[in-house]
Amino acid sequence: MASDDLVTWTVPEAVDAAAERFGGQVALAEPDGPVLTYRELREGVRAVAGALIGGGMKAGDRIAIWSPNTYHWVLAALGSLYAGATLVPVNTRYTGPEALDVISRTRARALFAAGPFLGADRLELLRKAARETGQDSRAGLPELIVKIPVESPAPDWDNFLARTTGPGGIDAIDARAAAVRPGDVSDILFTSGTTGRSKGAMSAHGQALDVARAWAQCAGLTSSDRYLIVNPFFHSFGYKAGILACLLAGAAMVPQLVFDAGAALRLIEKERITVVPGAPTLYVSLLDHPERDSHDLSSLRVAVTGAAVVPVALVERMRAELSFDTVLTAYGLTEAVVATMCRPGDDARTIATTSGRAAAGFEITIAPAGGDPAGEHEDSGEILLRGPNVMLGYLDDEAATAAAIDADGWLHTGDIGHLDERGYLTITDRLKDMYICGGFNVYPAEVEQALARHQAVAESVVIGIPDQRLGEVGKAFVVLRPGAAASARELIAFCRERLAGFKVPRHVEFRTELPRNPAGKPLKRVLRGETE
């Protein structure tokens, strides 16, 4: 157990407790930005909460954030939760239509959105998406919109903070925070489904903090650590295993706007970073960077990875060449966040070939495909999870919730694996067709639906194929309509206009027909076999 762990069950409690216990210690150090102590972090959180209350936000309202990793994201998220609202993180890689869909379906009343960033104006993308649906450019957008300055100054943030809470002042903020209960919905994190439409997994305050606490305990995170948060805040890895874990342990958050290996190496040296979690590709990028040997990386202590195959040789290189004392692997999903995790002291082969053992109060069992839970050491089958930190359910989707969580409380993950005699989990395959590109889940049905909108495409099947840099990338097998013509470049560009970059297939192969089973369903396993 991390020595600095705080036992709190709502995010407002965690913010207050961290300010009291870690007061003058650094909480947040944004590169080329402000440095906030835990006491100052609490002041900033309360200011955001007060401004939201002054702007008419009620307890239980949904508040969306569509922005990269900046200190504003941390304050906006924690401030929203402090005001009793529900947080809706939006994937920064989403296109305008994808983001509008999430914001509209959650009926978000407020939105924090990044100003111009990497050539994109997210508010304009949302307005354009609304216009393309035949609506007014404000249709489906929240009533309160705050632009976060990223690449250039924007007055919105300061103007927003200048709002008052109205009658009650600071007492209204404290009353709102005190009214939050552990079982209240804290966040709705969206994950794609096999039907191609995203689903919003709902978690409670107590659950969000409990999985963050479990992650911090397994990693041994303490108030002496300085945590480089490369994982995006919109993802549970960056939000719960990042922001919330640091809040509980008193560690310093050092967010990186977008991952760049050279910039990360400079930050590790300058900020004396001790903790760097991320997908395996992140560490490969650091190891292979030409400037690596010119930087002092001796401060590094803990690495936590997963989401893709982790070669034993990579673990050994991370220890030997990046000076990590502890390298851990973990397994989780949006519906459960942290299900299994290795522990300090596990050997390199265990770390590389398993995802660790149960964490955060989870039970794990293996069920034959389509069957009931099997014995603890059954041969490979579907991984089922049960415990207090399984999501509350999917937003406005009782059918999908019932399909995911059975009557006995088991969450059916759709992943295939097996447990060894120690209770360590090895993931061997997926029941679902999902693949992981650069650490992000991609569901082929969503890509196939995008391709189906192209006038030349009769049918398509998308699978994940190995990629040295990203782990897996998409390959589309396409059957064109009779007499139609299209190039691979054209179809990839078509997808890029409609999908986040990590979802866009990198390869297209044209076929006159697809292999099928007797019922006429395309056989993806045959196509996968052809690519091996």
Q: pLDDT for 245-274, tens place per residue?
A: 999 999 999 999 988 999 999 999 999 999
* 3-class secondary structure, 143: coil
54 and 179 together in one domain = yes
- Tens digits of residue pLDDT in 268-321: 999 999 999 988 878 988 998 999 999 999 999 999 987 656 777 788 889 999
Q: Does the pLDDT at position 376 exceed 70?
A: no
Last residue of a domain, one of 399, 430, 461: 430
439 and 426 together in one domain = no
395 and 455 together in one domain = no
Cα separation, 300 vs 283, in Å, equals: 12
42 and 180 together in one domain = yes
Torsion angle in degrees (nearest 10) through CA of 415, 416, 419, 423: 0
**Is 450 a member of any domain?**
yes
From residue 459, how far is each of 171, 291, 334, 481, 504 by CA, in Å? 60, 46, 30, 8, 17
Domain that holds residue 396: 259-430
Last residue of a domain, one of 389, 409, 430: 430
**Is 12 a member of any domain?**
no
509 and 420 together in one domain = no
365 and 305 together in one domain = yes
CATH code for the domain of 43 = 3.40.50.980
263 and 280 together in one domain = yes
Cβ–Cβ contacts within 10 Å for residue 168, how many? 14
Q: 25: which DSSP letter?
A: S
**Is 230 a member of any domain?**
no
Last residue of a domain, one of 151, 167, 193: 193
Looking at the structure of the chain, the number of domains it has is: 3
362 and 481 together in one domain = no
DSSP 29-57: E-TTS-EEEHHHHHHHHHHHHHHHHHTT-
Of 190, 179, 160, the residue nearest 87 (C-alpha): 190
- Tens digits of residue pLDDT in 20-70: 999 999 999 999 889 999 999 999 999 999 999 999 999 999 999 999 999
271 and 401 together in one domain = yes
Cα separation, 64 vs 83, in Å, equals: 14
**Is 245 a member of any domain?**
no
DSSP 397-449: -HHHHHHHB-TTS-EEEEEEEEE-TTS-EEEEEESS--EEETTEEE-HHHHHH
94 and 162 together in one domain = yes
